[in-house]
Amino acid sequence: GQQVMQIPQYQHVQEGEDFTTYCNSSTTLSNIQWYKQRPGGHPVFLIQLVKSGEVKKQKRLTFQFGEAKKNSSLHITATQTTDVGTYFCAGRKAAGNKLTFGGGTRVLVKP
Amino acid sequence: GEEVAQTPKHLVRGEGQKAKLYCAPIKGHSYVFWYQQVLKNEFKFLISFQNENVFDETGMPKERFSAKCLPNSPCSLEIQATKLEDSAVYFCASSQSESQNQPQHFGDGTRLSIL
């Protein structure tokens, strides 16, 4: 079946530094979504990528979809304490199919 | 409503008892999804509904787990004869449309503790 893997599982970042989390699918995706879950909270939708090679930015967050539509990345610049949480990618094989979530990258920020 | 409402927030059951969780999707959303999250790890998809019809149940354990979405009622997820391994946070999500690449809006979850 379809598998979505995320690395790293944990990311300890010094406040102000940049980091990247990666998402890899075993199959070609129709689209990929990113969610953020704060400790004790529920996942909140961040963004969706649909086109091959697509890049989208949200303030300090940059999302990229690979050319082959099998991988994606989230890059955060100048990390802040508000960035703490777990970032999940979720891929969909085809329109109408369910989302398959990755294992998440848990981000801890050192002030 | 404007948010996915899940009840109860926390449910404690003894092993072997029944557990029933409820979810009211956002008004106007046609699709409902149930996920199981164990130890804050990845979300295991259980089942999805399009209105009151099962859309995808490939993640649903064949035994003990059942779910319904009836008209004019909250959706429900029921676990019969609970086991210790059923302890998890169960999230419900809704979206306007499964096929239009819509984001899923999650509720706050129900934390199920099996003792």
In whole angstroms, how far apart are CA A26 and each of A1, A15, A20, A77, B59? 9, 33, 20, 28, 18
DSSP three-state, residue A103: coil
pLDDT of residue A99: 86
pLDDT of residue A90: 94
Which of the four pLDDT bands, split at 50, 70 and 90, describes residue A6?
very high
B28 phi, psi to nearest 5 deg: 95, -10
- pLDDT tens by residue, A30-50: 999 999 999 989 999 999 999
pLDDT of residue A93: 82
- pLDDT tens by residue, B29-48: 999 999 999 976 778 999 99
pLDDT of residue B76: 98
Question: Which of B49, B54, B104, B110 should we substitute to test contact with A (largest number of A Cβ atoms within 10 Å)?
Answer: B104
Q: What is the mean pLDDT of residues A3-13?
A: 94
Q: Please judge whether B91 and A100 are an interchain contact, meaning their C-beta atoms are less than 8 angstroms apart.
A: no
Residue A95 has pLDDT above 70, yes or no: no
Distance from CA of B95 to the nearest CA of A (A): 11
Of the CA atoms within 13 Å of residue A109, those in its CB half-sphere come to 19
- Stretches where chain B sits below pLDDT 70 are 1, 40, 98-101
